[in-house]
Every structure is written in structure tokens, then in C-alpha cells.
Structure 1
């Protein structure tokens, strides 16, 4: 019976929503979304290309930044086909299996990005508190293991949450409130006891995002204590300046993420437009802003981007 229910669920069709009440303006609304997606893809691909091709950027901080670019694109790219299909052609159908794959990619890369930000905080801790051991502690092999472990942890933790959806009956509406699939959105449509998914989802957020954010906070406590021990104001300012980009990246991820979780769980009576805007800010803002922030605030990346955009002589003259 369970196998039959699972098979039936996998064949079900769901319907995505665009911007309710503004369907006639969907082609125009799609323009800023398209520009943001393109900006995110171009920015992150530029970071990846610069880090890969410039030997001077083959250092721990830049490797972690490349991981951040990969996770940013992993979060946003899976939503592009369904978003533009809804806004451009008004084709709203999506199969349950496709929905699960989309949810898996979005949630896995969201958790992975949080882990990468924790690794970047530890990178800043080692660079500031143990500068003489920086190169020996953060080897390329260790960084690769950290990236693989972060991805595996996120994927394994996400699977039970989504696997249980295959056994839920969806006997009422099959209309999702976004132009892509989110777990919090789908369990509202289930005609079954969803307490496991609700509780497991909260535990997952606290265990992954919560522990990651706690680790970031503790890292900065030690960083701040070490910085305050620097005698010269210039040295303190220089040390703190190396952390500005990372702090911005943390805020850019966590603020929309917390806002989206709060809106879905505790603000169910708020207008649909609020849910939709929060969901798209959560996926669009980090991939667009992170490359800009790191290109502006991080000297090595800024120099690498200038060397890519301009011939070597012009780039060196600009610097």
C-alpha cells in the first residue's frame, strides 16, 4: 500500500504561481529577475575563472570564495527554468519528481553555503590569530575535504525531509505559492500528519544553520580578542578590514533566510506578495552581492578581476 501511494504521489502534477493578481505584467516583472540572475551568474563565473586561472590567487581565502560562488549558483540556478517558464509562457505545471529535485538542490546548497561561511570564518580566525601557521594549517587538501564534507552533510541531512513527501497524499489544492518548489510551501498542501516534517525541519535549521552561526560568532569573539591585542590602530584596522567582506556575506545569507523561515512558519496570514518577495530575495540577493562585495573589498580578488578585464600593463597602471 505504501509503495502504491508513493508511486501515485510521484506522478502528481503541481502548479506554480507567479505574482498573483499581476499576471498581465509577468513579462515586464521578469526583466529585473532576468537581470539579477544574469548578474549573479556573470559575477560568480568571473570569480571562479579568476581564482582558477591566476596562480597568485591559489590561497585558502580564494579557494573558500570559489566554494561560496559555487554554492550561490547552486542555490539560484535550479529555480531559473520554472521561474521564467511561469513568467514568460504562463506554463505552471511541474511534476512532483521535478519539484523534489528542485527542493533538494535549493535546500542542500543553502545548508552548504552556511557551512562554507563557517569555514571562511575559521579561515579569518587562523589568518589573524595564527598568521605564521596559516599556510601549513589550511592546505589545499584540507580545504577540499572541508568542501566535500559540507556538501555531503547538507545532502544527507536533506534527504529524510524530502523522502517523506513521497508518501503524503495531496488531496486538496496542488497550487504552490511560489514560482519554484520549497519544502515549507509543499507540506501545507498535504492531507496528512506533517509533524515529522515540521519538527525535523526546525531541528535541521537549528542543527545546521544554528551551529554554523554559533561557530561563526565564536570565531569572531576570538578574532576580536586577538585584534584588540594589536598595539597600533593601523594594525587593528587592517586586521578588521579583512573580515568586512565575510561579515557582509554572512548577513546577506542569514537575514533573508531567517526572514523567509519566519514568514512561512509564523506569518501565514501575510499577503502572498510578501512571501513571494522574501523567497526571491533569499535566492537572488546573495549570488548578486557576494561577488561585488568581494571584488570591492578584497584586494587580491580586485586585482585579479582587473587583470582579467584589462591587459596586464593597463591593469598594473590602474593599481
Structure 2
């Protein structure tokens, strides 16, 4: 990749890494599912009136939106609301790489390579260590919910791979339509109309800024740049940058929220990232710009998309 595009990739990783802290700060004033509905309303509107439909069936768009957006982020927001540390959340969510490899092998019969198997085993060992280390000092439930978010994302990855859904800006915008109404309905059911009404009529500056950052920064700007890089370069040249996300996420939470991970959590994090790196990074010739227009969200189980949270 050129220096310019490498810097753009790093910029996106910084935006995505800080996104966990931004979400966590916004959740102080708004119920998690209502906050989710607000974010994806801003992602979808008014762009759906200007962005063309993705080259995929409605069934595939809805399925991808249901798992990659609604399922993943409702559980992510809920985990943060339950007390999941933002920095640790940025790490645990990367378990989606391991889950994707396993689900793809079972469901669509894409056997992983030996390198991916080794990486998955190492990553799982690191993840188990992180969960154990966190459980010593805090409830494990938020971690379990975060693993559910990673699993939902992995299912979405496999659906996108099986259906051949392209990873494009139009898919980000149109699949966002799946989120607002179900999220708002669940918020009304769980939080009650009085709490939802109070939150909407007393939005703080932090909540508004957080919504703007997550919608326009993390989702639209971040994925706009990300998809353009995937259109120019092989996934193997672009995807490894996402290993910066949990590093930036943990650092941001450390600086902004004084969230200091334990030594055991850091060791587990390093082991897990090592496994994810082994599963996603591969050296191959021909990493220059490509002429293809779009790249699949999950090229295959041998080149897993490890895109971080949107």
C-alpha cells in the first residue's frame, strides 16, 4: 500500500478504536437500545434517498443488517451498559475472527488452513485467559454478552460470504435501515415509554456528540475509507490494520476513562492478538492496487474479514 493509503487506514483504526470509549460515554445519558436506534437512524437517513441500492437481494441486505448491525451492536451497547470496560470490549469483539473461521467451516464447508487453525487455537487461549482475568475482579456477564456480539458479527460475515454480498458504502447505508425500529421497539419494551421520552427530550451534549461520532465518523467516514481501500488492494494487505483497533481502544480507555487493565488481562490480550494475527495475516505476492471495483465482506475463510466495529 502507498504511504497515503496506509495513513488513511491508520486514521480509520484510530476512529474505530476510540469508538468504544465514545459509545461508553454516550451511554451515561441514554438507554443502550435507544442510543443504538439514534445512531443507525443517522447512518441511514437521509442517505438512503441518494445512495443507490446495493447489488444484492433484499433478503441478503436484511440478513446482513440483522446480524452485523442489529445483533452485533445491540449486544455491544448492552455489554457496555452492564459494565463491560470499553478497552476490553474492543479486544473481545475481535473474537469474531475466530468464530467466523469456525462457522464458515461448518456451515458453508470452507475448511480453514493449518495457519488459521493454529491462530484460532492461540486466539481462543488468549480469550479464555482474558475472561478468567476479568472474572476475578468483575462480573463475567458483560463479557458473555460481548462474545454474543462477536458471534452475531461472525454469523453476518458468513451470510455475506455465502450470499456474495459486496462490501460497499451502499450496503452500510441500506442495511442500517434494519436497526432503528426494532431497537426503538425493544427500548420501549425494556426501558418503558417514560424513560425513552425523558432521554429524547433531555439529550445531553455528550449524547449528541457521541451519536454524531459513531454515525458519521465510525460508520460513514470510517467505512467509506475502508471500502475504498478494499477496492484498491487485496484484503490481505488491508485487513491486518484492524489489529490496531483493540490496542487503540485499550489505550483510549486507559487515558480517558482511567481504565487500567490487569497484567493478566494484558497477557491474555497479547496472546489473543497474536492468534488473530496468525489467522488473518499472510504474505503473498502482488499486493499492489487492484482493478476490481469491490471486495467481498468475507473473501473466504482463508482470508477472513477482521473489520472492527463500525
Fold-level similarity (TM above 0.5): no
Asked which structure has the greater CA Rg, the reply is 1
Indicate the structure whose relative CO is greater, using CA pairs within 8 Å and at least 6 residues apart.
Answer: 2
TM-score by length of 1: 0.29
